[in-house]
Structure formats: C-alpha cells, structure tokens
C-alpha cells in the first residue's frame, strides 16, 4: 500500500517521511511532493492509496489537491494537516470528501493511528470490491480454524496448504524448523472497541510483514503460526526483538503466549491448545512473552485460606474499612502470585474459599444480631477473567459482602447493642471485654452496659460468657481438640476456671459433655 506526503515546507515533509518507519507499517512511502501541482502530475503514474497533505500551501491548496486527486483516483484516502486556525476550514473539507484531518502538532502515534484507519478502510473496500478475494479470505480463515482447533490437517493435501499458508508450507518453508502457535493481545491505545480493533489490525499487519507468519484475527487477540529457525532459542530471541520493534512503533504493549513446538501440520491443534492454556496465565505472569513450558508443569498453589487469614478478614469486614480491605487483598494475592506452583485452577479455588469465608462471616454476624439472613450461603464461583486482575476480582466480591452487611444494618437500623453482639461473635477468642466493645461501637462503657441490658435482657458479661460456652460446645462436638485448646479458643487461659464456668452453664464438665455428645 502506497502513501504520498505533500507539503511545501521541506522541514515538515522530510520530518514526516523520516520520523515514522512507514515500511514497518506495511506502507510504501513514495517520494514526498513539494507542491500540489507536483503531486497532481505524479499521482496518475504512481497511484498512491493514501495522500497526506498540508491544507495551506503556496499555489494550489490541499483542498484543491484533494478534489483533483480524488477525481483521478476515486478510492484515494486523503488526510489533511491543519493548524488550529484552520479548524472550520477542515470541517468543510471533510464534508467534501477528505477522509480525515490532523493537527500539525499531532504526535507521531496519532499520525500512525489516522493512517492505519485509512488503510483499514481501503482494505475493506478492496474486500468488498473483490468477491474472489473475499471468498479466498473466508476459505483461508475457516481452514486455519480447522487446523488449529480440530487438527484436520490430514484432510488437506500439502499443495492446498501451501496455497493458503505459504509462510508455513511453501516450498522453502516446509523444509524449515518446527511449527508453533502463539497468541497475542495488545494494549495501550484507547479502550474503545474501534481503537482496540484498529490496534490489533495494525499489530497483525506488522507481524505478518516482519515475521512471515500466518495469522487469524479474533475479537480481542491474534492467533498466529510460524516456522521456527533451526535453533528454538535463537528463534525466540528474534521474536522478542520483533515484538519490541512493534511496541516502539505503535506505542503499545504486546503480550504473547507460545504453545509447544510441533513438527507436523496435524499437530498444530496441540500447539494451539498449549498456547491457549498459557495465554490464560496473562494475569499471573510478570512477563510480556512466555511459553507453555513456563506454566505446564505447575502443580498448583494453596486452595484454602487459613484460620488466621479468615480471622483477620472478618475483623476488617466488621470494621467496614475499605482501605484495610484493599490492603489485605493486595497482600494476600501478592503472596499467591509469587508462588511458582500457582495455577489458574488453584487460585480460583483459593478465591472461592475466601468468598465462602466472607459469606459465613455475614451469616454469623447477621444471626448474632437476631436478624434473618437474606444472603445465599452458596456464593457464586469466583472466576478469573483476562480483563480483571485477581486482586480486583477478590476485592470486588468481598467489598460487596461487606457493604451488604453494613448497608442492611447501617443508617440507624442497627442498635448499639446489635453492633456489639456482632463484634462479640467475631472476637470470642480474643478481647471482648466491655471496654473494648464499647470502643468499637463508640459508646461510654457504662452507657453500653445499660443499653445492652435493656435491649438484650441480660448483662453484658453474662451474654459474653454464654456465647463463649456455646462456641466451646460446638467445638467439643465436632473437634478432637484438647480441653485446654478449646478453652484457649474461646478466650480462657485458665483451664480449671473454664471447666467450672462450663459446668455451671451446662451441668457437665467439658469431658462429660464431649462423651455425651459422642454417644448421642
């Protein structure tokens, strides 16, 4: 595809010619023209596809040039360069058929984007005008999909494969190294669908030009196949160099996951499956280019949160502390990301474990306040998506649980006694003295003691003791823990004193209660 630059200022036209590496964008840069008249004389012979012209020039203006050039080449894409003072003038130009406009102060990356949009429009026109080309491209894409997803290479003879995929199966390429699938995504331009699509289009064109690969554009990524050189490592080094080149020119960031290297066309689906699995680790790997071998042998990290982690999380949720929650999630996820054995499956299981813990906390504190829970005790499975980082995924889920509780009990709905009961429920194994709880609910200890007795019907101290003994009964029923361990779990360091209080409330010693529970 050819582009011609027209400007009567030598600094502008030579600058535009040199500051952008047009050949790496798949564009053939024709000799820049110093005037509209020169351009008009050369256009019929050189037949550019894109014309980039200044709007104000000595002699004919850029608009006059555009009008005559489009008359000569009706499918020509014209982009005009203007100053701020020419804005109204430029709007009129667009209405008259000029494709796009740029300010002279535009950065190189803005010029590149605008030219690539023009190129995309041209190629769409070509495809629309050429039914044969369209049919060829459709057939080629369907065949590529069948090769990589179904492993149907045996259904196509080698001459047919060579016709549709010369970079892989051409006369010279077929005698080369191994075949390999890789998947690429790109970031760095605006998040709109049109900009993302244009960026992928540009990356795909550059990779085909620089790597001699066969590719397929999907919605948000590129699937490509290459022939590796005689040395796999040398081949990867060369590919990294090419990716860096594309990133510099397009001002973007590339991420690429490589599948396994295979020898035969009918094994391409194996390489694709490996590349797809590796691509799923985009959010877990601190690299921009990685191979299936980097993740294929991982055994999996932890899948359950610890008791201490759940206690710390419960305290944060009860405090309704968003900052602390975000900090906890970040630390928690960072530890998992640093585990060289972590897998997508193990991390999802761990996040689900934390989500279950949060829902159990919600049930406990709602029940402790005497309010019927409306929360489903089976939280939706936490799934990792390429668009959301693990820490954001977990934070959003925990934040929703935290706000559900505090919004239901907030805004004057929950009394100080109910808030105190919820706090006691979560801290039975630690300090739940009157002073500590009063501090949490922002009341003077004496005032809390009064309102608690009035609303709950028992003294603060009796309520705490009753809750501790009930928790001890639960532990004794389901756990083989020693009596001393049970006492410590509910906040009693003196085992003898714990046993006396336990018998006072239940009529049995802890050992007798466990024995009776086991025989029932």
Q: Where are the alpha helices (DSSP H) in 146-231?
A: 158-164, 166-169, 193-211
Q: Do 331 and 465 share a structural domain?
A: no
Tell me: do 156 and 277 sit in the same domain: yes
Q: Are residues 254 and 172 in the same domain?
A: yes
The CATH number assigned to the domain holding 185 equals 3.30.70.270
Domain stops at, among 255, 276, 294: 294
One domain for residues 146 and 282: yes
Residue 379's pLDDT is 55
Instruction: Supply 132's token pair.
Output: 């044969």
For residue 56, give the CATH number of its domain.
Answer: 3.40.50.2300
Q: What is the pLDDT along the chain (520 residues), one digit of tens a residue?
A: 999 999 999 999 999 999 998 988 889 999 999 999 999 999 988 999 999 999 888 999 888 898 899 989 988 999 988 876 666 666 666 666 688 888 888 889 899 999 999 998 888 887 777 666 677 788 888 889 888 887 666 677 888 888 888 888 877 665 567 899 999 999 988 877 778 888 999 999 889 888 888 999 987 899 999 988 644 444 678 888 899 999 988 889 999 999 999 988 888 999 999 999 999 898 888 889 999 998 988 999 999 988 888 888 988 888 888 899 999 999 999 999 889 899 988 998 999 999 888 888 888 777 776 655 445 544 556 666 656 788 888 988 898 888 777 766 544 445 778 778 877 877 777 768 888 888 878 888 888 888 888 888 889 999 889 888 988 888 888 778 889 888 888 888 889 999 999 999 899 999 999 888 776 5
Contact between 212 and 168 (Cβ < 8 Å): no
Rounded to 5 degrees, φ, ψ at 388 are -130, 125
Q: How far apart are alpha carbons 442 and 368 in whole angstroms?
A: 19
Are residues 419 and 513 both part of a single domain?
yes
How far apart, in whole angstroms, are the C-alpha atoms of residue 161 and residue 1? 26
Based on the domain organization, do 227 and 323 belong to the same domain? no
Range of the domain at 424: 415-520
Residues 484 and 393 in one domain: no
- Is residue 408 located within the same domain as residue 419? no
Q: Are residues 226 and 328 in the same domain?
A: no
Same domain for 185 and 98, yes or no, is: no
Spatial distance between the Cα atoms of 418 and 369, rounded to a whole number of angstroms:
5
Q: Maximum distance among all alpha carbons in the chain?
A: 109
For the chain, state the CA radius of gyration.
34
User: Is the whole-model pTM more than 0.85?
Assistant: no
Q: How far apart are CA 272 and CA 225, in angstroms?
A: 9
Specify whether 383 is located in the same domain as 431: no
- The last residue of one of the domains, among 273, 294, 315, is 294
Q: Are residues 168 and 279 in the same domain?
A: yes
* Final residue before a domain boundary, out of 414, 443, 469: 414
CA distances from 7 to 41, 84, 276 (A): 15, 17, 48
Are 52 and 13 in contact by the 8 Å Cβ rule? The answer is no
Rounded to an integer, what distance in angstroms lies between the CA atom of residue 187 and that of residue 483? Answer: 58
Q: Total structural domains in the chain?
A: 4
């Amino acid at each position: 595809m050819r582009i011609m630059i027209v400007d009567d200022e030598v600094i502008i036209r030579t600058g535009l010619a040199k500051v952008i590496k047009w050949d790496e964008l798949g564009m053939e840069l024709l000799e820049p023209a110093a005037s509209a008249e020169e351009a008009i004389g050369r256009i019929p012979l050189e037949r550019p596809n894109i014309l980039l012209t200044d709007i104000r020039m000595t002699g004919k203006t850029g608009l006059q040039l555009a009008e005559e050039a489009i008359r000569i080449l009706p499918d020509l894409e014209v982009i005009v360069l203007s100053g701020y003072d020419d804005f109204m003038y430029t709007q009129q130009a667009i209405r008259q058929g000029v494709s796009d406009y740029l300010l002279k102060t535009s950065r190189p990356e803005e010029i590149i984007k605008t030219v690539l949009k023009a190129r995309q429009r041209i190629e769409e026109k070509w495809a629309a005008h050429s039914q044969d080309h369209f049919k060829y491209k459709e057939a080629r894409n369907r065949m590529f999909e069948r090769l990589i997803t179904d492993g149907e290479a045996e259904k196509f003879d080698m001459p047919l494969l060579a016709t549709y995929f010369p970079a892989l199966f051409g006369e010279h390429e077929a005698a080369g190294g191994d075949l390999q699938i890789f998947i690429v995504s790109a970031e760095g331009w605006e998040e709109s669908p049109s900009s993302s699509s244009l960026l992928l289009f540009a990356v795909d064109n550059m990779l085909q030009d620089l790597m001699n690969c066969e590719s397929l554009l999907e919605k948000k990524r590129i699937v490509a196949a290459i022939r590796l050189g005689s040395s796999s490592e040398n081949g990867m080094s060369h590919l990294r160099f090419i990716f860096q080149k594309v990133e510099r020119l397009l001002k973007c960031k590339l991420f690429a996951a490589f599948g396994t290297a295979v020898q035969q066309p009918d094994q391409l689906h194996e390489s694709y499956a490996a590349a797809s699995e590796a691509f799923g680790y985009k959010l877990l790997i601190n690299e921009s280019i990685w191979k299936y071998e980097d993740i294929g042998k991982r055994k999996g990290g932890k899948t359950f949160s610890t008791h201490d982690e759940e206690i710390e999380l419960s305290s944060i949720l009860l405090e309704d502390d968003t900052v602390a929650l975000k900090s906890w999630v970040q630390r928690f996820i960072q530890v998992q990301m640093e585990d060289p054995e972590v897998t997508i499956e193990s991390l999802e299981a761990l996040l689900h474990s934390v989500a279950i813990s949060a829902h159990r906390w919600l049930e406990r504190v709602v029940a402790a306040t005497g309010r019927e829970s409306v929360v489903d005790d089976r939280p939706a499975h936490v799934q990792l998506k390429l668009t959301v980082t693990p820490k954001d995924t977990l934070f959003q889920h925990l934040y929703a649980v935290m706000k559900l509780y505090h919004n239901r009990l907030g805004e004057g709905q929950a009394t100080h006694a109910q808030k105190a009961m919820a706090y006691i429920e979560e801290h039975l194994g630690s300090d739940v003295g009157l002073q500590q709880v009063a501090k949490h609910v922002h009341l003077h200890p004496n005032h809390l003691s009064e309102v608690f007795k009035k609303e709950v019907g028992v003294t603060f101290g009796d309520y705490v003791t009753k809750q501790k003994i009930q928790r001890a009964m639960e532990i004794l029923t389901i756990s083989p823990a020693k009596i001393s361990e049970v006492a410590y779990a509910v906040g009693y360091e003196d085992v003898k004193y714990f046993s006396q209080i336990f018998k006072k409330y239940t009529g049995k010693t802890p050992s007798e209660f466990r024995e009776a529970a086991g025989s029932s």
